[in-house]
Amino acid sequence: MIRYLLPALWLFLSQAAPAQTNRPEQYDKPYVILISCDGLRYDYVERFRPPNLLRFTEEGVRAFSMISSFPSKTFPNHYTIATGLYPENHGLVDNTFYDPERKALYRINDREAVEDGSWYKGTPLWVNAEQNGMVAASYFFVGSEAAIQGVRPTYYFPYKGSTPNEERVRQVLEWLALPEARRPHMITLYFSDMDDAGHRYGPSDEEHIGTALLELDKVLGQLFDGAKATGLPVNIIIVSDHGMIDVAPDKLVNTDPLEQESRYRIANNGALAHVYLEAGADKEAAFRFLKAKEDHFRVYRIEDFPFYRSCPPNPRLGDLILLPDYGYYLRDSRRIAQARQGNFRQGGEHGFNPEFPEMNAVFYANGPAFKQGLAIPSFRNIHVYPLICRILGLPIPDDIDGRVEVLEGILGE
């Protein structure tokens, strides 16, 4: 397939002969660059005071924090930001989950699943734009590699984490330099630096977290300056998907004794695990078995689990949920042994109840659409989608969970 060709050739082919051009009525619309800084905890900018981000937030709009959706994991929350739907409604309920109807497992490192649009519900921002005659572009964002409703951004790239941040910024600025018929008005951009550092070292490591943020800040400064130099009405929104806490090796909960393959399967993602009953298995018997083994975790029937809103529950959520105590993490015995022998560094983790402040993300916005020097209270990340639709003049779907009135007060006159 094309994605296996040399990177330079892929870049050329993905940019050549775009299928979409802006309809004339979209030419005068503003521009939005939605930047995700994965793992950028709500308090990092105040702690480490990176100069470009500080100036960006002080001159624009900054929320005290942005509250992630449960679980506070990367794929569910990026796709919530992109669709305005809670994870149980858009279908990406975790980084790893099982779909009983498809009889298939979704994992974020499974390229076939990630690029299969039939896993994804909702109408992502780039799909909304393209369906309404507006060119969209994505330099990495969850869902942007898949043909959702048969639509991809006009410009996009398969995810490759080793791509230098400077290359990502250069490409965004090149998109903004295109002729107006081909110039994307909706752009997404993704950086993983803070998540990488947080997992490796833990958020309490001042030296490594601070260094990572200052390096990312330099690249963001290049983007801010470059976007301003275009003279276009470019609005930049910076978000993250979750926060991070330290998890020590002695806080790991062994899941091996919980396995019962004849009765159920477990999809484990650390801060929670989904339990899917096999056909004919007795749910109450499985519940009692797991209940008897509770040790720094709790087992819930899905209908009793407090952090989901869908009714009836999405089958992808499972029949039972295992939830570790805050600060504990579910691991199999192999990973636990590696951590305790020092062969696997257990630093920071996330995925926990987003009501815990350490799980909170960021929301910053700057540009001609926004008020200046405004600080607002915390809000849930489902509300970013209708805000961007309002700025770009795109229709806001009736069935989303987000509400435009939550953030419309941050827009200028």
Q: Which residues pair with 267 in a beta bridge?
A: 274
> In this structure, are residues 175 and 184 in contact, taking their beta carbons and an 8 Å threshold?
yes
Residue 80 a catalytic site member: no
Residue 391 has phi, psi (to 5 degrees) of -60, -40
Cis amide leading into 71 (omega within 30): yes
Active-site entry in 74, 80, 123, 188: 74
In terms of Cα–Cα distance, which of 134, 90, 123 is closest to 397?
Answer: 123
Q: What does DSSP say about strands 155-156 and 136-139: parallel, antiparallel, or unpaired?
A: parallel
> Residue 106 CA to chain centroid, in angstroms?
16
Coil, strand, or helix at residue 35? Answer: strand
Q: Which residues of 91-101 are buried (b: 16+ CB within 10 A; e: fewer)?
A: bbbbbbbbbee
Cis amide leading into 184 (omega within 30): no
- DSSP characters over 256-322: GGG--TTTEEEEE-SS-EEEEEPTT--HHHHHHHHHTT-SSEEEEEGGG-TT---SSPPGGG-SEEE
Residues that are catalytic: 74
